[in-house]
Amino acid sequence: MGNRAVISFKGVSTGVYLHWNGGTESVKAFLDCAKELGIRSPVRDSYGIARFSQLVGNFFGGNLSLGVGPVDSLDCDNGDNGLYIVGEDWDIIGRKYRPIHSYNNFKQEFYEGVFNECMEINKPIFERKNN
């Protein structure tokens, strides 16, 4: 049991599997957090996907609930939230295996809670200077 989703990136064969927090509010919060922290585009090269995975892993903590791999090997048709397709600017541009939720059902408070927690955890990490 979970709240699963796979996040894929336009034109890229690598995806990120979430066992938890796969709903639209959480996924959008993670993407907006990545954008706010200046993580490079996920469709540009592997650094964007790697750092996005780090951001989500930092949010979850521990060593479970997150996977990275070829999209075709991840559980995209998972019965929960399906597959999100993300574009160059960290926006959700498509969805498979479950229709995009109407933003009338979007829970803004939940989104803000995930976004704020994600930023609180990740901002000090991503703002560190390289020595």
Give residue 10's pLDDT: 97
Where along the chain do its domains lie?
Answer: 5-126
Average pLDDT over residues 58-67: 96
Structure tokens at 46: 């592997």
**pTM for the full model?**
0.93
Confidence class of residue 102 from pLDDT cuts 50, 70 and 90?
Answer: very low
- Mean pLDDT value across the chain: 93
pLDDT of 129 > 80? The answer is no
Give residue 99's pLDDT: 59
Confidence class of residue 100 from pLDDT cuts 50, 70 and 90?
Answer: low
pLDDT of 11 > 90? The answer is yes
User: What is the per-residue pLDDT across 16-47, written as a single tens digit (0 to 9) for each?
Assistant: 999 999 999 999 999 999 999 999 999 988 99
DSSP string, 33-50: HHHHTTPPPTTT-HHHHH
Q: Residue 45 burial (CB < 10 Å; 0-12/13-18/19+)?
A: exposed
